[in-house]
């Protein structure tokens, strides 16, 4: 491979988007050519700098509220009187009135929550246990719902700490098992905190990791002796779910990162899990 070819393919190589054969050829060339190697190092550093230093413009809270209320308008749902008033306000003066709306929002959520609880009570008295052959699919629904809720309801963590020695003891006191808690900052998956959750009819530990600007929820609970141990991946609604198990625990990782990143996360986690 010539220098010219190597430079031309360098971005693809940097992004891990080349086929293995071409990648190998570039690797060989970089080992042999000091100049191209330096160019590659500078290029990598620039790429990392963009990822790290370029500002990520998160959506302000009021935008989410504006969107939710305009969606409700679109389907013609009148959630409550305050929602209707809010919609009129938006129509006449979308920006000036926005601040006034804030104190009213929680009542909408509370009303929704009340409706859910009422329906849940009815549902739980009529519904038998929802354990069907499609229990994996049902579990997947639960996992995604829990992941989404953790991001939406501003309740990502009960204990927010990047220190595994803070998160682990906290979880140990709340659960009847001691899940492994490992900080993977050096592998690009910093630990953000831990949370209690309820899945598959039992309390579980949810460990929250970050990756670039995304979150990974890792749900952990003790493995039953007769459970299938084969790793599984499920893709639903743009979320990746990855399941694996060791002799002690079941693991479900849920995120919107791509499947390769999630596999990498699993590998790093498994490598660092203490073996008995």
Partner 1 sequence: MAAPLKAEYAFGPEDLESRRKVVKFTVLRKADPDHAESAELASFEETMLPHIDAAHNLARWLLRNEQDAQDVVQEAYLRAFKSFGGFHGSNGRAWLLTIVRNTSYTLLKKNRAVDLTTTFDEEIHATGHDSASPAAILEHAEDAELIRNAMDQLPTEFREILALRHQEGLSYKEIGDIAQLAPGTVMSRLARARAKLKEYLAAQIGKEK
Return the residues of window 190-229 that contact partner 1 according to CB under 8 A. Answer: 195-198, 201, 203, 212-214
Is 258 a residue that touches partner 1 (CB under 8 A)? yes
Q: 186, 202, 203, 152: which is closest to 194 by C-alpha?
A: 203
Rounded CA separation 275/12 (Å): 38
Return the residues of window 151-190 that contact partner 1 according to CB under 8 A. Answer: 151-153, 155, 158
Q: How far is the CB of 66 from partner 1 (least distance, A)?
A: 6
Q: How far is the CB of 207 from partner 1 (least distance, A)?
A: 15
How many residues sit close enough to partner 1 to count as binding (CB under 8 A)? 81
Return the residues of window 18-57 that contact partner 1 according to CB under 8 A. Answer: 38, 42-43, 45-57
Is 2 a residue that touches partner 1 (CB under 8 A)? no
Q: 190, 203, 180, 201: which is closest to 272 by C-alpha?
A: 180
Residue 18 or 246 with smaller CB distance to partner 1 = 18
Is 99 a residue that touches partner 1 (CB under 8 A)? no
Binds partner 1 (CB under 8 A): choice among 2, 135, 235, 267: 235
Query: CA 263, 267, 268, 274 torsion: positive or negative?
Result: positive
Asked if 66 contacts 55 with a C-beta cutoff of 8 angstroms, the reply is: no
- φ, ψ at 217 (rounded to 5°): -95, 125
Binding mask 100-129 for partner 1 (x = CB under 8 A): -------x--xx-xx-xx-xxx-xx--x--
Q: 179, 190, 148, 151: which is closest to 245 by C-alpha?
A: 179
């Amino acid at each position: 491979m010539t220098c010219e070819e190597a430079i031309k393919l360098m971005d693809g190589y940097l992004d891990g988007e080349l086929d293995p054969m071409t990648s190998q050829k570039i690797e060989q060339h970089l080992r042999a050519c000091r100049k191209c190697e330096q160019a590659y190092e500078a290029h990598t550093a620039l790429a990392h700098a963009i990822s790290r230093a370029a500002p990520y413009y998160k959506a302000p809270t009021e935008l989410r509220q504006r969107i939710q209320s305009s969606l409700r308008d679109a389907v013609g749902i009148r959630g409550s009187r305050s929602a209707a008033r809010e919609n009129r306000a938006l129509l006449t003066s979308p920006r000036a009135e926005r601040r006034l709306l804030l104190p009213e929002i929680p009542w909408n959520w509370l009303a929704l929550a009340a409706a859910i609880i009422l329906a849940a009570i009815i549902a739980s008295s009529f519904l038998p246990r929802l354990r069907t052959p499609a229990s994996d699919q049902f579990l997947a629904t639960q996992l995604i719902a829990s992941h989404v809720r953790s991001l939406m309801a501003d309740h990502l963590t009960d204990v927010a700490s990047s220190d595994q020695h803070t998160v682990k003891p906290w979880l140990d006191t709340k659960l009847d098992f001691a899940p492994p808690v490992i900080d993977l900052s050096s592998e690009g998956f910093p630990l953000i905190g831990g949370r209690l959750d309820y899945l598959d009819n039992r309390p579980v530990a949810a460990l929250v990791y970050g990756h670039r600007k995304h979150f990974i929820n890792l749900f952990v609970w003790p493995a039953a002796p007769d459970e299938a141990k084969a790793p599984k991946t499920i893709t639903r609604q743009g979320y990746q779910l990855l399941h694996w198990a060791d002799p002690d625990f079941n693991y479900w990782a849920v995120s919107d990162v791509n499947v390769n990143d999630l596999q990498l996360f699993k590998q790093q986690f498994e490598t660092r899990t203490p073996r008995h």
